[in-house]
């Protein structure tokens, strides 16, 4: 069934688990994720990232996501990932998304809070939940390929500059009125080039300031042990995508290289099977199964 972000995150809190957020920019990943969540009877968030607009427009994939969520046996939130402007957020709301993330984290603090508040007020009027971001991840996934606002990159060694500052959390939440907060504590979008070094203590510090559900982006490529630790410390939503997408890619490549002449649909089907296996694996970790 189609539900809001607050509802799945409340279940997450009750069960002391993290709810997985998967981007689903094609039918294969969408089916893979829904089947995996239904099999385990866990809540799930399916998301369309604004930067995937070129790969799959929201007016095509959005209605498909909403309809399949409504028909699902499990609790499914349909979410806009990294909304970058108000207009696009409004479009997602028009298509029936139950949750949006507005990401003004690359703007100066005052612009971030003011812009986020405008979106929050509009979304709440329409019964839609909102995730905001305070602090920033160094790169948006796929941003090198897309015409999105470029972040200034921190100098090596200065990455901590982008981390969420606990002393701003109370003020940010009061000014923006968001329902979930994405924080930055060392994770990186995309495939990791080296082991991420997560500042676990920072999560705990932030949970002392607020009981709002906390969100981790860049959740791919983290060890199972670290996932359990961030969940234990209070992360309730983890955005996981890159490694599932990579698993699908690797399988497609294997099929192309080993099968002489075949149909395109068999590539998609093969990729879907391995993406489902990957989703099952990560959902079990996030749900302590």
What does the binding site for Zn ion look like in residue numbers (CB under 5 A)? 217
To the nearest 10 degrees (0 to 180), the angle between helices 224-232 and 200-207 is 20
Task: Work out the end-to-end distance of the chain between its first and last CA atoms, rounded to an integer number of angstroms.
Answer: 23
Options 41, 59, 81, 106, the catalytic residue: 81
81 noted as active-site residue: yes
Instruction: Give the Å distances, CA to CA, from 162 to 53, 80, 96, 180, 233.
Output: 26, 23, 33, 19, 20
Q: What CA–CA distance (Å, rounded) separates 21 from 212?
A: 17
| Residue 75 CB-half CA count within 13 A | 14
Ramachandran assignment for 243, one of left (phi > 0), alpha (psi -120 to 50 degrees), beta (any other):
alpha
CB 228 within 8 A of CB 221: no
> Which residue's CB atom is positioned nearest to Zn ion?
217
Q: Which is nearer to Zn ion, 52 or 276 (CB)?
A: 52
The residue count of the chain comes to: 289
In the complex, the smallest distance separating the C-beta of residue 239 from Zn ion, rounded to whole angstroms, is 5
21 vs 287 by CB, closer to Zn ion: 21
Least distance CB 217 / Zn ion (angstroms): 3
- How near is the Cβ of 104 to Zn ion at its closest, in Å? 13
Question: CB-wise, 243 or 270, nearer to Zn ion?
Answer: 243
Q: How far is the CB of 241 from Zn ion (least distance, A)?
A: 8
Residue among 115 and 190 whose Cβ is closer to Zn ion:
190
Catalytic residues: 81
């Amino acid at each position: 069934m189609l539900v809001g972000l607050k509802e799945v995150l409340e279940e997450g809190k009750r069960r002391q688990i993290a709810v997985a957020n998967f981007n689903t920019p094609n039918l294969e990943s969408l089916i893979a994720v829904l089947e995996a969540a239904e099999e385990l009877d866990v809540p799930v968030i399916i998301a369309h990232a604004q930067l995937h607009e070129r790969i799959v427009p929201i007016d095509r994939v959005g209605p498909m996501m909403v309809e399949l969520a409504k028909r699902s046996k499990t609790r499914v939130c349909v979410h806009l990932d990294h909304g970058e402007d108000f207009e696009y957020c409004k479009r997602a709301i028009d298509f029936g998304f139950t949750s949006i993330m507005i990401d003004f984290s690359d703007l100066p603090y005052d612009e971030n809070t003011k812009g986020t508040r405008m979106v929050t007020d509009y979304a709440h009027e329409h019964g839609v939940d909102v995730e905001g971001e305070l602090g920033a991840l160094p790169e948006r996934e796929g941003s090198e390929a897309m015409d999105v606002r470029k972040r200034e990159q921190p100098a090596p060694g200065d990455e901590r500059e982008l981390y969420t500052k606990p002393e701003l959390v109370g003020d940010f939440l009061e000014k923006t009125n968001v329902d979930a907060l994405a924080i930055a504590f060392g994770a990186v979008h995309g495939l990791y080039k080296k082991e991420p070094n997560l500042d676990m203590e920072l999560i705990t510090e932030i949970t002392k300031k607020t009981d709002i559900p906390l969100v981790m982006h860049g959740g791919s490529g983290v060890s199972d042990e670290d996932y359990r630790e961030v969940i234990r410390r209070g992360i309730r939503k983890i955005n996981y995508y890159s490694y599932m997408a990579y698993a699908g890619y690797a399988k497609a490549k294997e099929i192309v290289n080993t099968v002489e002449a075949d149909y395109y649909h068999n590539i998609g089907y093969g990729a879907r099977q391995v993406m489902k296996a990957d989703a099952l694996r990560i959902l079990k970790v996030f749900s302590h199964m």
